[in-house]
Amino acid sequence: MLFRKNKKGSLGVSSLKNVILGLVMVSILFQVAAVMIPDAQDAGDTLNATGVPLGSLIAGGGIIFTIIMLGLFLVVFNHFMTKGKK
**Beta strands per DSSP E along 7-78:** none
State the Cα–Cα distance between residues 70 and 2, nearest whole angstrom.
22
7 phi and psi angles, rounded to 5 deg: -65, -25
Domain range enclosing 57: 13-79
Which segments of the chain have a pLDDT < 50? 1
- pTM greater than 0.85: no
Is residue 76 left, alpha or beta, with left meaning phi > 0 and alpha meaning psi from -120 to 50?
alpha
Question: Does residue 2 form part of some domain?
Answer: no
Number of domains in the chain: 1
Question: Does residue 86 form part of some domain?
Answer: no
| pLDDT at position 18 | 78
Question: Does residue 6 form part of some domain?
Answer: no
- Residues with Cβ within 8 Å of 61's Cβ and at least 6 positions away in sequence, in order, are none
Question: Does residue 30 form part of some domain?
Answer: yes
Question: Does residue 69 form part of some domain?
Answer: yes
| pLDDT at position 57 | 87
Question: Does residue 31 form part of some domain?
Answer: yes
